[in-house]
Amino acid sequence: MKKLLILPLLFLLGACDVDVSYSRGAFDTKASWYGTESGRHTADGARFNPYGMTVAHRTLPLGTKLRVTNTENGRSVVVTVTDRGPAAWTGRSIDVSEGVANALGFKSQGVAHLHIEIE
């Protein structure tokens, strides 16, 4: 029963997490990738494509275009915010699809430092 009460609270805490650096149009963050849930619906209502150029973010408006750059190798792609996450307690601001992780060259690492520019 306690777990059922804690989960909504964690969701609300994550939804209220706002970083003022977003207003400047760019920020740096740690990111991981996700891609095992093919076919589920994302927050924007579309079916999740693990190989698409999509990301999850807690507060940016769905449909926001971002230029995402891997700071370790300089690879960059333009992606769309289609989903919500990651959880606030992870310390990450963004999760990327498996396709984005492949394009940025960090799939085997699992986590990378990214520079994000809001387009």
What are the pLDDT digits (tens) for 58-112?
999 999 999 999 999 999 999 999 999 998 888 899 999 999 999 999 999 999 9
> Can you give the residue ranges of every domain in the chain?
2-118
Task: Label the pairing between strands 94-97 and 26-34.
Answer: parallel
First-to-last C-alpha distance (Å) of the chain: 43
**Structural Rg of the chain based on CA atoms:** 14
pLDDT in tens, 5-16: 444 444 444 444
CATH among 2.60.120.340, 2.40.40.10, 3.40.1260.10, 1.10.3210.10 for 2-118: 2.40.40.10
- In this prediction, residues 23-41 reach a mean pLDDT of 83
Whether pTM exceeds 0.85: no
Residue recorded with tokens 């700071």? 71
Largest CA distance in the chain: 47
What is the structure's pLDDT at 4? 45
Q: Is 93 helix (H, G, I), strand (E, B) or coil?
A: coil
How many whole angstroms separate alpha carbon 32 and alpha carbon 95?
5
pLDDT of 19 reads 44
Question: CA dihedral defined by 64, 67, 15, 29, rounded to 10 degrees?
Answer: 180
Amino acid identity at 61 = P
Strand, coil or helix: 107 = coil
